[in-house]
Structure 1
Amino acid sequence: MSDAYIALADGRVVEARGRVPGRTRGELVFTTAYTGYEESLTDPSYEEQVLTFSYPLIGNYGVRDERFESDRIHPRAAVAREFTDEVVEWLADEGVPAIDHIDTRALVTAIREEGAMRCGIAVGPDATPEAAREELEQCKEMSEHADIGAQVSVTEPEVHPGGGDATVALVDCGAKGSIVTSLVERGADVHVLPYDASVEDVESVDPDVLFVSNGPGDPANFEAAAALVERFVGEVPLAGICLGQQVIARALGGETEKMAFGHRGVNQPVRDLDTGRVIMTTQNHGYTVADPGPKLDVTQVNVNDDTAEGLANDELRVITRQYHPEANPGPHDSLDFFDDVLAMAGKGSEKPPAVASD
């Protein structure tokens, strides 16, 4: 007898085995990454989502907190073909419902064909299909989470010293820890500011670079960050990653749109339009820049669907990436992005030593 149910927005209810009990809801998405489950589960960009792993076994190399990207698990629930007991224990400690013994290939196919969709989940000895449907009825679209930044951002400024070679004001819309680390390793002092930071907050830092981070949800809901871009463009160099690219594009006259099922994985090919070079990238986003607007040029595109992966304006000193140059998990093909950001600000830095693989 099943003790876990996923009610999908298309009307289906999928049965499975419950590993961690609970009831929840969120947008059902999948990642194709075959490693890096610790980093994925602690990525703030998965807030308000239910994460399905397409790789069949999750947990085969344990759980180590030094790999975490934040201080907690962000998906509302986790789904896999099979979870190891160690991962289940971690999910249970954080109260995150978990489901396995499910045909994840069929689930991923449904998401690819119908798009990321709302779902409701009920897990445990008393779980019923009706309970899962009740959760589904209360599930919002991602665009309706108007203040999702408050769920993932710092509430007070934080300072991460890196040697004083440069000063970066990082607007935390749900930043991965490895972004801060990548800048600190290059000698930058990183001032992490709340997602709704004011102009005065940024001015008090007197940054060499204003950096808008990754984060969850619809970029249209990050109005405060967009206002900072509008205020400081042309005065302070601007950089952004993932949601940060989208926020910057919108603030400078561009348009964004929701993708069918997004890019989530560690093997997304990206082509640089100037050099023709193709790099492999880590990505996690459900929105994209549909039109960069009059002030930004597309510098990199996704090989699979031609969506914008990099934007720039040399005169205004703006550079952005849709993917995650800091990887974790994933390839390190694009770590030089952080060197380019600091160079744009006239703050050269020595690259940190290469990190050996685990």
Structure 2
Amino acid sequence: MADAYVALEGDRVIEARARAPGTTRGEVVFTTAYTGYEESLTDPSYEEQILTFSYPLIGNYGVREERFEDDRVHPRGVVARELTDDVAEWLESEGVPAVDHLDTRDIVTEIRDEGAMKCGIAAGPDVTEQDALDELHQCKHMSDHVDIGAQVSVEAVETYNEDGDGATVALVDCGAKGSIMSSLVERDAVVHVFPYDASEDDIAEVDPDLLFISNGPGDPQNFGQAGELVETYVGEVPLAGICLGQQVVANALGGETEKMEFGHRGVNQPVRDLRTNQVVMTTQNHGYTVADPGDKLDVTQVNVNDDTPEGLENDELGIITRQYHPEANPGPHDSLGFFDDVLAMAEE
């Protein structure tokens, strides 16, 4: 007898096995990554989402804290074909409901065909189908989480590598992965991490060589203060952005963003550089994209699968952004040179 239920839009309910008890709701999405579950589960970009793993076995090399991207699990719930005890116990300790023993191929196919959708989960010995449906019916669209930045950002300025000899970076934390900071610090940058709603005066206190807008969850339109910083500093200091950061920069400079059908989430997304024709494999995790870059940004890289913009630049204004994650974690390291490029731009 089932002791867990997953409810999808249209009130479809799927039976499952409870691996971490509780009830939850969120936008259900999937990742095709076959390793890196520790990094994915601690990626702030999954805030307010239910993460479905398409790879059938999750947890086959344990749980190691040194691989975490943040200090907590961010998805609201987890769905897998098979979860090991290590991962299930970790998720239970974090209070994140998790289920397995269901056909994840079926769920992934539905998301692919119908788009990312609302989802409710109920897991545990006393739950019913109605509990999962109740969660589903209370679920919000991602764009309705208007203050999602407050859930994932630092509350006060944090500084890394204070005695470094490299560029001074003001990183606006919209939900930054830890490996972004470490990638900058490895190149001897002094990194000041600011809350997502930092003001112009806050940033000015560190006199940055580079303004960097991080990745993060949800709709870039809900990060208006970060966009105002871009408007203020464009042309004054170089600008960089990753994932949500690219979208925030584009919106601030006259472009437009839109929600994708089911997004890009995985470690094998091919990206082509329009200048060199070189193709690299990238890690991605986003549900929104730049629909129109506007007249201040040039599209320099595109996704091979659907031609969505993966890189935006303006040499004159000193802007380099990437929709994918150059730092990877998990995934290929083909694009680590991004950090060298933006820091070189900052030090010119």
TM-score interval w.r.t. the shorter chain?
Answer: over 0.9
C-alpha deviation, 1:165, in angstroms: 1.1
Question: How many percent of aligned residue pairs carry the same amino acid?
Answer: 76
Any idea what SS the aligned residue of 2:182 has?
Answer: helix
In the alignment, the residues of structure 2 paired with residue 113 and residue 264 of structure 1 have an alpha-carbon distance, to the nearest angstrom, of: 15
Spell out the pairing of 1:109-124 with structure 2 (5 A cutoff): 109-124=109-124
AA in 2 matched with 1:245: Q
In the alignment, the residues of structure 2 paired with residue 264 and residue 10 of structure 1 have an alpha-carbon distance, to the nearest angstrom, of: 24
What does residue 240 of structure 2 align with? 239
Aligned length: 347
C-alpha deviation, 1:111, in angstroms: 0.4
What does residue 90 of structure 2 align with? 90
In the alignment, the residues of structure 2 paired with residue 92 and residue 126 of structure 1 have an alpha-carbon distance, to the nearest angstrom, of: 16
C-alpha deviation, 1:336, in angstroms: 0.2
What does residue 201 of structure 2 align with? 200
Deviations 1:164-197 (A, max 9, x none): 3110000000000000000000010000000000
Q: Are residues 1:258 and 2:252 paired?
A: no
What runs of 5+ residues in structure 1 fail to find an aligned partner? 348-358
What does residue 300 of structure 2 align with? 299
Any idea what SS the aligned residue of 1:134 has?
Answer: helix
Q: Are residues 1:280 and 2:304 paired?
A: no
In the alignment, the residues of structure 2 paired with residue 62 and residue 180 of structure 1 have an alpha-carbon distance, to the nearest angstrom, of: 25
TM-score, scaled to structure 2: 0.99
Any idea what SS the aligned residue of 1:110 has?
Answer: helix
What does residue 64 of structure 2 align with? 64
C-alpha deviation, 1:9, in angstroms: 1.1
C-alpha deviation, 1:37, in angstroms: 0.1
C-alpha deviation, 1:346, in angstroms: 2.2
C-alpha deviation, 1:126, in angstroms: 1.0
Decide which moves more: 23-32 or 153-162: 153-162
AA in 1 matched with 2:233: F
What does residue 318 of structure 2 align with? 317
In the alignment, the residues of structure 2 paired with residue 113 and residue 140 of structure 1 have an alpha-carbon distance, to the nearest angstrom, of: 20
Deviations 1:261-310 (A, max 9, x none): 00000000000000000000000000000000010000000000000000
In the alignment, the residues of structure 2 paired with residue 164 and residue 239 of structure 1 have an alpha-carbon distance, to the nearest angstrom, of: 20
In the alignment, the residues of structure 2 paired with residue 63 and residue 345 of structure 1 have an alpha-carbon distance, to the nearest angstrom, of: 37
What does residue 185 of structure 1 align with? 186
In the alignment, the residues of structure 1 paired with residue 210 and residue 133 of structure 2 have an alpha-carbon distance, to the nearest angstrom, of: 47
What does residue 7 of structure 1 align with? 7
In the alignment, the residues of structure 1 paired with residue 281 and residue 10 of structure 2 have an alpha-carbon distance, to the nearest angstrom, of: 33
Structural RMSD (CA):
0.6
AA in 1 matched with 2:20: V
Q: Are residues 1:26 and 2:34 paired?
A: no
In the alignment, the residues of structure 1 paired with residue 24 and residue 165 of structure 2 have an alpha-carbon distance, to the nearest angstrom, of: 44
What runs of 5+ residues in structure 2 fail to find an aligned partner? none
What does residue 45 of structure 1 align with? 45
In the alignment, the residues of structure 1 paired with residue 3 and residue 347 of structure 2 have an alpha-carbon distance, to the nearest angstrom, of: 58
In the alignment, the residues of structure 2 paired with residue 224 and residue 60 of structure 1 have an alpha-carbon distance, to the nearest angstrom, of: 41
In the alignment, the residues of structure 1 paired with residue 11 and residue 290 of structure 2 have an alpha-carbon distance, to the nearest angstrom, of: 31
What does residue 353 of structure 1 align with? none
Any idea what SS the aligned residue of 1:150 has?
Answer: helix
AA in 2 matched with 1:40: S
C-alpha deviation, 1:113, in angstroms: 0.3
Decide which moves more: 261-270 or 338-347: 338-347
What does residue 129 of structure 1 align with? 129
Deviations 1:19-63 (A, max 9, x none): 111000000000000000000000000000000000000000000
AA in 2 matched with 1:213: S
C-alpha deviation, 1:137, in angstroms: 1.1
In the alignment, the residues of structure 1 paired with residue 10 and residue 235 of structure 2 have an alpha-carbon distance, to the nearest angstrom, of: 47
Any idea what SS the aligned residue of 1:205 has?
Answer: coil
In the alignment, the residues of structure 1 paired with residue 127 and residue 107 of structure 2 have an alpha-carbon distance, to the nearest angstrom, of: 20
In the alignment, the residues of structure 2 paired with residue 20 and residue 156 of structure 1 have an alpha-carbon distance, to the nearest angstrom, of: 32
